[in-house]
Structure formats: C-alpha cells, structure tokens
Structure 1
C-alpha cells in the first residue's frame, strides 16, 4: 500500500445551484421560510415532495409542520396525483420536485389531474434552466415551453429571494394551478434595492434607459441589472423590465415599454430561445404591430453540456459579461 499522502479530492461547482457571488447578500431557503410563515396563517396548506425536500427547501416546512408534510418518494406522477386529490378535498397543496421531473416525467398527470380540473395546486420546482451543471438529465431548459401550452396554468419565474418570498402568498391566493421555477439554498437578494414588490401577472420597470430595453425573468433580471450598470459606464442607457409572470404576460407594460421608439429590445431568460419568454414577447409585439429591433439572450435549442456553471453561462451567452458584449454588438449593427 502506498505511503504517499492522499491528495485532496477536487470538487466541481457543477452540483451547486446557488448563483450567489462572493460577498453578495443572500437569504437562506426563502421559499421554505415564506411557506412556513403563510402556513401559520392558513391551516389548509400542505407540502408534498418526491424525495427532494432538502433540495427544494421544503424541509423547512416539514420541520415546522410535520403533520402537514408528505414524502411521496421517487414517484413524481404519484406526487402530482396526490396533490390533485388533496386539492379536491379542500387543501392547498404545494408540490415540489426538480423542474425536469415535473415538466417531462409528470406532464400528463399535471395536465389531466390538475390543469384540466383547474385545481389550486402550486408546483414549485428547483433547477430550472441552466442552474445545474449535471447535463441534460437535470437541466430543465424547455420547462416553460412545455407548460406555456397548458390551459389554466400560470407560470412564474422569480428573480431572487425577495421575489420568491413575495410570490408565495400571491400564488397561494390564485385560484388555479401555478408552476413556479425555484432558486434554492442561499439565494441572492437584489430587488430590495428597488421600489419593487411581487404582483402576480405584473411586470415592473426597475430602471429606465434610452438606448436598450431588456425584458427579463428569473435570475436573468439580476444579470440584466448588472449589464445595465456596465453599459451605463460606456454611455449606453439600458432599461430593465422584470417580467416574473410569464403566463399570463403583463401585455400592457411590455407593449408600453417596447413601443417607445428608437430602443433595441432584448429579452433575457434562463431558458431555451424556443418557446419561452422571448417567443411570448415577440408574438405579443407582432400581434400589436410593434416592431422594434428585437434580440434574444437565452439558451440554444440544444442539449447542453455538463460542467461548472460559470463556464457554462459564459459558453451559452447568459453571463453578465456575455450579455453585455452581445448588447454592444447589436447596438453597433
């Protein structure tokens, strides 16, 4: 047996879903804590998961309300069917899993048991888009496209911990089903620096600018705000319109801001360029004959690589630096 000391095992950020940068303010498990707070006021709230309580922050709810928590095991179809049954009996179920498993594996059960019946099941899913480096098996790059076509389904893509905490009571109050993408763990706090609060179905203009309008959802709003600051240093005015509700869109806000002449319009999303926020906005603008120069920052129509998230975000054009470079190039065309 070799007497040489074992080398320390190298780790990779492929498994880490947190997007917080060094020194950035964060809040731990905002979804779990917001649900616990709301459940103290509403005895009808129950939580269910498919063996992923720890990885969707539902373990916080399970610790506070163990008699209202259901561990369904690795059976996403059963998870959604049980949530539908509880909703039929007057409960308000929050069902959590990974976004790939809800959108791909359990879609038919969500469609037939929840959406068709317009039941108030709240489906809250971790690892949306490119928030894991585990590759196509875990990267839900097409989840919004899948659920956008489902009648009765509301879709929410919050930006940060502030957005998530604000979204929980709002989606609970909504009478129909909701699919919400989730950032988990230590989630960055950004939007408390702006005059902002989450309102279901509403977009918010976080900053204004004369040269480019960035319409964004999810953590790409964080990136859009950082890109706007970088562009400002070069004398480029960038507005950021945060659209956390993807279905239904805040059509009035988008049309108002995109209709202001002379600005490049860029949609930024942590999702495939096929079927997500970008195509929803483009369709809206076309239907209303609003025709700015239009570009998309999003993931390609491809199965993405595995690896470290910062590397992947740069490679696929959704990092702050990559988005800033793209916008400068488009403005110069």
Structure 2
C-alpha cells in the first residue's frame, strides 16, 4: 500500500525508537497503533531479537513509567497485581501495589507462567483496574501492556487461554535482522547502550491528547460494513472452528483509526483494514484440527478472507 505523509509527532517518536531499534520500524509503528488505540500487544518471537529494548524505547519516548514483569512457572497472581499486608502499628491492612501499577508494562515471556497467573492480567487489560481482597484499584492512564512470548513449540511453555489472547489488540513477530542490520547491531553494541541516551518526545498529557484525538477519526458506514463482512466470514470459513467475536470487529476499527491518524488522515480507508487484519484477527480465531494438520496458519486464513471480501470503492472522507 502507498504510504502517506506521517504525523509529525508520531514521526519524532518513531525516529527516537529507531535510535536503538534497527530495521524494525513496522513493529514500532504497530506498537504505537496499539498504544494510541488504548490496546495491548503480544510479541511472539525467539529470545534475543530486541523485544525488551523495543518496549523500553517506547516508554522513554513518551515519558511513561515502565515496569517489567518476568513471568516464571512459580510466579503468583499477587506478584503481578499486588497484595494487602497487615500493618500491626496501624492495625489495618495496607495495599502494596505490584508491578502492574505502571503506564507501560513489559510482561516478559508470559507463556512461561501458569494460566492462573496469566489471567491476573485480564482485569487490568480490559478494565484498567485490579481487584484485591474485594477492593478495586484503578490503574494509571495511559495503561499499555506489551507481552512477549516464546514460540509455543519451546519446552516449558503454557499456551495462552483464548480469553487472554482476545485482550490483545495486535499480535505480531519481530523476526531476525538481515545481515546489514545485524552488522549495525554489533557496531552499536561496542558503544554505550543508546537506550540510556533517549529523551522523551512527548509527555503523558500529550499522549492522552493523542489518544482522544484518535476517537474523532472518521469511519464511514461502508468501512464498518467492510470490517463486519471480514470478521463474519471467519465464523463460517471451512478451516475455522471458532471465528472472531464482535470484540474483533471493534479492535479492527480502533486499530484502523489509530493507523489513519499516524499517517495524518482524519478518515479510515480500506487499505488500513486490509493491512491491519492480519495483525488483529488471527489470534482471535481457532482453526480446525484438519487445517492445522495441513499446515494452514491463522494468518493465511485471514489473508484469504480479506482477498475474497469485496472492497468498497468510494472515497472515505467526511
């Protein structure tokens, strides 16, 4: 698809991230889509390709508080959300917040912990709050989770439950750098890590303003129908056991609004939907066992569906 003029503020954020991330502009761009849309990201890839560096750079660029949670098999839900501890001097329980109480949260290797602990993120990701001992604690705004996971075929991993996967706006992979990019990684590794030299491009108030502006990006009814047609076809596809829910339709629309804003448009076009569908929908469907046996991936199914759905042809402006 043709790239348009990028929003100046977004361009500065991306340029800042690229000071430490080499050749991963598309990943940084999609991460910003999720952050601006109020969603969350699941990064699935092998260790050592820069997932942690990516989210740290993003946090520094928007001057957000950053928390890292290393998920392990023995991690408890209270280790994530926090715990109430009795204070004998004041004769009452006091809440001690966990690492979830931050703006940008790196949930590192989330599939190395048990489903019970994975689910501790559910309320926070969906409701922006956590409930402990019957008391609800609001999370900071903005609140953004970037979870990383090793491929499922690795030993010692737990597949994320469907309810957890559905909470992620986008799922993507970073992939290995090419030869030239890896050479540049080595060159930079000889010097002081550049992450320490990053400066904020905007503050949290500025980020909140951007998040509000995205809600005003126009989505024509024909575009909404296009989204619904794509999502609806996942429910009757011959390779799909369980199709995407209405949450998938909402996620695709919000992601498209954020993507249009990044490219300095105040309206969504079909190209936005086509590009984002393969990041928003595959993790929301469950393939039939026959399809898995044949080596068909969820991404392939979504790509085929998008290719078959008629594209609206009119111009989508207010």
What TM-score range do you get, normalising by the shorter chain?
0.3 to 0.5
Larger relative contact order (Cα-Cα within 8 Å, sequence gap ≥ 6): 2
Greater strand percent: which structure?
Answer: 1
Which one has a larger percent helix, Structure 1 or Structure 2? 2
- Give the TM-score taking structure 2 as reference length: 0.33
